[in-house]
Amino acid sequence: MSARNDVTKTHGYAPVNGLNMYYEIEGTGDPLIYVPPAFGFSGMIPMPELVQGHSLITVDLQGNGRTADIPDRRISIEHYAEDVVALMRYLGIGKADFFGDSYGGDTVVLIALRHPEIVGRVATYGATFSPPQTALNFDMLPASPPSADSTYIAYWKQKYQSVAPDPDYWPRIFEKVNSIHWNGFSNEELASIKAPLLIAVGDHDFVRLEHAVESVRRIPHAELAVIPDASHFVLFSEQDRLMPVIKHFLEKPERRLPLAISGAGYQPGETR
């Protein structure tokens, strides 16, 4: 691990499951691990609200950002999850909160399912919990799959090539990430998740609102947040729309007044 600008901002590479995995740590406080979406990476977007009060660890997953791909190792949500867990061991982090965006959200929920002992709270945005056929609104996706050089994906290509160990590797990593086969969780798995979980989604996301609602109902300690007038990429385009919701979820007290429901009503100081 090597220091950057000050003692609260560090970066390094970790030997993780055959990867030389890049990570960044910023801020002080309890650990919060951020797992970016496909093609996202550490430092791609600043998140000052999360740095306040947290030690924010951002990871570059296999083939993303500064972490080189392993050509003969497939890319999957399952591999992503185990790589993040191995990074925690390397850094000596026994337990952390998590925030994951899109595929990163799928990854952190899988960690909560498989490794509950190392998970505190879990926040997601644009994650999917079931097969694409039920989770996605295909009317909001391209009519034909984009290629590595499509305008649809140009932003991610440019960002990848700005930091990747081999910028010319873009077509191959695009193909591998685009081939991820993710079918989500069974109803039994969702019901077994013990961690408090936030499912946030934009009202104009290509993840179906109905899917988010159905998923919240199947997870015991799940909460739903619908961000108005927001797409799948609100964390990049209008972060201030989403971040207060994430921060509130991660930092609210464990013990709170019960919610006012029918029969009890609202009683100041007793219900909320």
4 pLDDT band (50/70/90 cuts)?
very low
For residue range 108-133, what is the model confidence (pLDDT) as tens digits? 999 999 999 999 999 999 999 999 99
Q: Which residue has the tokens 């919610």?
A: 259
Task: Quote the pLDDT of residue 267.
Answer: 82
Q: Please determine, for residue 87, whether its predicted confidence score (pLDDT) is greater than 80.
A: yes
Q: What number is the average pLDDT over the span 244-272?
A: 86
Arithmetic mean of pLDDT over the chain: 94
Q: Which residue has the tokens 């185990």?
A: 82
196, burial (CB in 10 Å: exposed 0-12, middle 13-18, buried 19+): buried
pTM: 0.93
Q: Is the torsion defined by CA of 238, 243, 246, 248 positive or negative?
A: negative
Task: Quote the pLDDT of residue 257.
Answer: 79
Q: What number is the average pLDDT over the span 205-218?
A: 98
2-251 architecture in CATH? 3-Layer(aba) Sandwich (3.40)
Per mean pLDDT, which range of 36-50, 57-71, 177-191, 245-259 is the poorest?
245-259
CA atoms within 13 A on the CB side of 32: 28
Task: Quote the pLDDT of residue 262.
Answer: 66
For residue range 130-181, what is the model confidence (pLDDT) as tens digits? 999 999 999 988 888 889 999 989 999 999 999 999 999 999 999 999 999 9
**Stretch (H or E) spanning 55:** strand 54-59
C-alpha 177: how far from chain center: 16
* 133 to 105, 138, 180, 202, 210: CA distances (angstroms): 18, 8, 15, 19, 13
Q: Please determine, for residue 6, whether its predicted confidence score (pLDDT) is greater than 60.
A: no
Q: Residue 1 is encoded by which pair of tokens?
A: 């691990």
